[in-house]
Amino acid sequence: MKYINKFSLILSLFAVAVLISCDDEMKKATYNETGNGLTFSSSTLSSVTVSPNDPTFTIDIMRANTKGALSGNVSMTNSMVFNKKTSTLEGCTVSGFSFADGEAKTSVKVDVSPLPIGATLTLNLTLNGSESGREGSITASKITVEKDYTWISLGKGKFSDKFTFGDFTYDVEVQKADGFERWRILNPYVAGHKSDDGENGDWIASSSASDITWWNIGDGLVQFNAFFIGLNYEADSKQPINAQPPQAFEDIDPSHNKWIDDKTVQLAPYYYITGLGGWDRTQNDDIITIKLP
């Protein structure tokens, strides 16, 4: 791979505090012979980002006994974090559910229209009715919801990642969130992996990050979301290499993630393999460089 073999893989032998990730393993309910056995698919559902133009989504509900039609309701409470403050958001709704005779799965519709952009909403849902509480049924579930930004294209910019591609630079579309100091580039690794000369070898994955998003945090510094660089580390098995921000770890200086000028930003990630370690570039300049149009 281009230049990547020049870096030594740090096999961390000390405890590194990383962001807490949810256990998204799906539970499979087991049922008795009687009752309807209403259940969610999991006690913690995958997070959702809704469009500002259609801030709704659906949640599946299953039942074990499919005989006859069945209707019911779901109760919902919420907790919202916005501007570092926690509160309850009024006006969010969830529909009732309805199964036709013989139908094992249906859904409810959740509407989060009042949710402001930039807030994180946690919804707690509970299946109502005594017939839902059978052995193995998941009658309570939670889900995290955010509302997407409205993105405006700024045109074509330039992207380079010296860790992944050496000194090569690629054209990327740059977008800005309308009304917010937040930017992103689309499909940053597609062109680089497509034109690879073979040095990345079997490390190239079938996909990569759809975007890299960053935002201002003050004093010219920026923070970015973790993203997949499109390479898998091949040891005993393929494991994705993700670019993590310094803020994902304890006591790492984030000051190398910053604006160089009003059109140029640099990112200094920790290229991390979960459970193994990685390549710490958080204290380096000129690792990832993005030039706006």
With beta carbons less than 8 A apart as the criterion, state whether 119 and 92 touch: no
Q: Check residue 203 and give its pLDDT.
A: 87
pTM of the model: 0.73
In our burial notation (b when 16+ CB lie closer than 10 A, e otherwise), range 222-236 reads bebebbbbbbbbeee
| Residues 25-48: tens digit of each pLDDT | 333 334 344 457 899 999 999 999
pLDDT value for 279: 96
What's the one-letter identity of residue 269? Answer: P
pLDDT of 198 over the 70 cut: no
SS3 content of the chain, % helix, strand, coil (to 5): 5, 45, 50
Across the range 185-202, mean pLDDT stands at 83
Q: In angstroms, rounded to a whole number, what is the distance separating the alpha carbons of residues 141 and 216?
A: 34
Domains of the chain and CATH, by start? 48-147 (2.60.40), 150-291 (no CATH)
- Can you give the pLDDT at residue 9? 39
Instruction: Compare 124 and 21 and report the one with higher pLDDT.
Output: 124
The pLDDT assigned to 15 comes to: 33
**Is the distance from CB of 292 to CB of 173 less than 8 angstroms?**
no
Q: Work out whether the CA dihedral 166, 168, 170, 176 comes out positive or negative.
A: positive
Task: Please give the backbone phi and psi of residue 132, each rounded to the nearest 5 degrees, phi first.
Answer: -85, -20
CB atoms within 10 A of CB 121: 23
Kindly state the DSSP code that residue 163 receives in the 8-state scheme: H
Closest CA to 211 of 182, 180, 246, 240: 182
pLDDT of residue 237: 58
Lowest mean pLDDT across 32-46, 54-68, 137-151:
32-46
Residue 84 has pLDDT above 80, yes or no: yes
For residue 166, pLDDT beyond 60: yes
pLDDT of residue 82: 95
pLDDT digits (tens, 9 = 90+) for 87-113: 999 999 999 999 999 999 999 999 999
Q: Please return the burial class of 245, using the count of CB atoms within 10 Å of its CB with bins 0-12, 13-18 and 19+.
A: buried
Does 23 score more than 80 pLDDT? no
Distance, in Å, from the CA atom of 175 to the CA atom of 154, rounded to the nearest integer, reads 5
Question: Which of residues 265 and 197 earns the better pLDDT score?
Answer: 265
In this predicted structure, which of 102-106, 189-193, 208-212, 231-235 has the lowest mean pLDDT? 231-235
